[in-house]
Chains A and B, each alone.
Chain A
């Protein structure tokens, strides 16, 4: 990454963190899945995507949507149910979408977006676009039949599809080790004959480098690839789910913060001072405040909207 890119990555992660914290503080925050702790995965991944690429995600969509460059105003409005949101307030976090911005969308069904992403990849292949579809899912989806069916077909058809499994090692309350037989999730690449790798998901530059390496053959038409990122979420699964980890565990996890790490790395490398870091923080706080203000000034949909766009 260039210095500019490094700073942009830091800012992007800070934006996600600030955005989610502001959202979570509101009494009307609704049912949310937050990416706190996992920002490096979304930001590192999106740093290698082009305008023509499409990103699809599961329900933990806020971080990826912001990392992809969606307007924070419209994302906040969507999360708060306003008709000025990306989905006119009708999808919410589970279905955030802005395909013109390369975010084909979130889908709240665990593993449900994987076959959809393969369909998007197929469309790119059929129209000979030099574009890639990327499907971001968690370890919770790794046991789903859909993943295995789609890996098979994608490998068979050499679809331009990048599978990114963000393994934060917990599926609500179930640890990866009790749910999944493979120790190393990227080993699945071997079974289907596709390139696969596992990397540290708490380091944005490691993620970016791995994503760049993984996506290159996919873009060149050589077929799909699989990337596993190991990460930790700082909060419970969702705003309604109970936390299962101890305070000591959580303190240890928070010490791995990708934002603190990237800040320290840039300061240590001498390319950014503490003041500049603080300046970035103020910038993103302003962006978030504007998003909140935009949403609060926006209307809820009219009840008649309930019957619009059904067919």
Chain B
């Protein structure tokens, strides 16, 4: 099954800059692992996996910008599954985010 990570709805934020992906395509994230750091105008947001998953496609590379609510990456339970065409019909990955 495929999942997407989208930019979390942080208060008072319209868009973010992707700072750093903590794993390349193919990386297995466990629950609690830091997946990506995002920068808002005020702070750094740490997005952690709320469930295990394999990073399959990065939609917004480090240094790129993305709006709140829009997708950043695709993940799957296993690395064998064929990628879907786009992120549209994909479920949200469970995540926890922390603002520093």
* Touch between chains A and B, by CB atoms below 8 Å: no
